[in-house]
Structure formats: structure tokens, C-alpha cells
Amino acid sequence: MATRVIQVGDIKIGGGHPMVLICGPCVIEDEDTMKRAAEGITAIAQKLHLPLIFKSSYLKDNRSSELTYQGPGLEAGLKLLEWIRREFEVPVLSDVHCQHEVNMAAEVLDVIQIPAYLSMQTSLALAAGKTGKPINVKKGQFLEPADMQKVIQKIERTGNHNIM
């Protein structure tokens, strides 16, 4: 079965191209921590000869307690991701949580990720799809694998077929 090839900057995903590392800290911390993480991760990717997409969330909105650190928020987080993108010359990915965040996030992110808990949110899927950016949709734990086809179809109906 042929797979679709998704282009993220110079990186090609699918279609027999090499595996791509999508990794980084779960949530954006301070600048120094993010710099050290990016340095370490890019060094590992280079050593393994694998392309890298740096991933970190500006907001982890599904924490078990509101007292737990959730991240720096949209504006500060995107600013730091933009710096990592420029400084380390790697594409960046982060979660978006509502349709109102999507356009601002799309100005910085190379890949927009829809979190598992929000994977069935129609307005979010449509807004993300309309950006034309590659979309990584995490499968909700509450969904059967076959149900993900419905999520993919929502995004594809926007004309965006760049779904990872």
C-alpha cells in the first residue's frame, strides 16, 4: 500500500522516507532548559542521521490538577518555539487547543498537533486544516482506530491533505 508523503520544510514523511524523530520536552519550560533540550536532541538526531521535528507544548491543558505547571501560554510559548526553530534550524510542532489559537500558532509552527483529548473537536480540526499546514492528530484514547478516519475526513474537507 502506498503512503502519502507529507513535506515539513526539507523533511519528507511517509512513502518509504526515513523515520522522523518528533521529540522534545512535554511542556515548554524556561529558555535555558529548552536550549539544553534542543542541543541534546539535535545532537542525537544528527548522530542517528534522522530528521528531527522539535515538539513541545506551550500549554498542557489536560493536567490532573490546576495547580500543576501547564506551560508559559500561547504567546510566550510560540516566541520560544520560534527562537528554537531559528537557532537550531529545525521545524517545530506544538498542540493547539481551540480554534482561536490556530492562526497565531500557524504563523510559527511547521506542524500543528491536535491533542488526543481534542481529536474529535470539529471546529478545531477545521481551523487547523484551513491553515494548509501539516497536521498531526493524536488518537484519542476513547476512539477506536477506525474512528480516526472521521477526524481525517474533517480536515481533508478543508482541502488540506497534509495529515500525519
* pLDDT tens track for 89-138: 999 999 999 999 999 999 999 999 999 999 999 999 999 999 999 999 99
Q: What's the CATH class of domain 18-95?
A: alpha beta
CA dist 138 and 130 (Å) reads 18
Structural domain boundaries in the chain: 18-95, 115-164
- pTM of the entire predicted model: 0.94
| Residue 12, strand partner residues | 7
For residue 135, the surrounding DSSP H or E stretch is: strand 135-137
For residue 86, the surrounding DSSP H or E stretch is: helix 74-88
Strand pairing of 135-137 and 111-114?
parallel
